[in-house]
Amino acid sequence: QKEVEQNSGPLSVPEGAIASLNCTYSDRGSQSFFWYRQYSGKSPELIMFIYSNGDKEDGRFTAQLNKASQYVSLLIRDSQPSDSATYLCAVKSGEANQAGTALIFGKGTTLSVSS
Amino acid sequence: EADIYQTPRYLVIGTGKKITLECSQTMGHDKMYWYQQDPGMELHLIHYSYGVNSTEKGDLSSESTVSRIRTEHFPLTLESARPSHTSQYLCASSENRGQGEDNYFGYTFGSGTRLTVV
């Protein structure tokens, strides 16, 4: 059973701080990694994706991937109250067949940014 | 504007009723998915499709069925609703824009249908 693990939180940070969200995955053949943000009562929206080891930056967001450790993280710099949401880590397997395009999601980490 | 639409947004229905949750996308994506999400829990894949007349069951055992007669339309049907079906149902679509991983951009989700079976 392929799994994606996240600390459910809540993770509480003050406004302006760096929030660090972590995710581990069990399928060593996984190829692509995604971070979705989900506000309460809303559907998930894609905020970052990463394929290669290292860091990928987009505005205040940085995704970090370490395939050897099967670990992916999301850093949010200058956290704002509007960043308060649940952050879902999702992984696409390395299977070459059609089933490999389906994403496997973690339970999500709830982030609370206080002003 | 290209998007993915789910109807109804909310549904309260009695036990034993047959219901169909609608999902349509205007992006021309070949791949479409249905996920089920309970509060505080991960999304569970219940059905997926890679094109017209192609449907598969996901990891979560489900009493629902799907069809894919047109690229843009992927409805989910419960023949006999039960209280255990109470959940949020999310539809998503995706595409590969070329060869290799750099051309896979993940999912676009619909707004979801919150189903309550009483």
Does A32 sit within 8 Å of B50, measured CB to CB?
no
Mean pLDDT of chain A: 91
Return the structure tokens found at A106.
């973690």
**How many whole angstroms separate alpha carbon A69 and alpha carbon B89?**
33
Angular region, B99: left φ>0, alpha ψ -120 to 50, beta rest: beta
- Does A68 touch chain B if contact means CB atoms closer than 8 Å? no
Residue B103, pLDDT score:
56
- Find, among B55, B11, B60, the residue nearest to B35 by Cα: B60
Each residue's pLDDT tens digit, A43-93: 999 999 998 889 999 999 999 999 999 999 999 999 999 999 999 999 987
Tens of each residue's pLDDT in chain B, 118 residues: 558 999 999 999 999 999 999 999 998 888 999 999 998 888 999 999 989 999 998 877 678 999 999 999 999 999 999 999 999 999 999 876 655 555 566 789 999 999 999 9
Q: For residue A86, give the chain B residue with the closest CA.
A: B40
| Residue A30 forms contact with B (CB below 8 Å) | no
Q: Is A42 on the interface with B (CB under 8 A)?
A: yes
Q: pLDDT tens for residues A19-53?
A: 999 999 998 888 889 999 999 989 999 999 998 88
Band (pLDDT 50/70/90 cuts) for residue A2 is: confident
Cα–Cα distance, B89 to A33 (Å, whole number)? 23
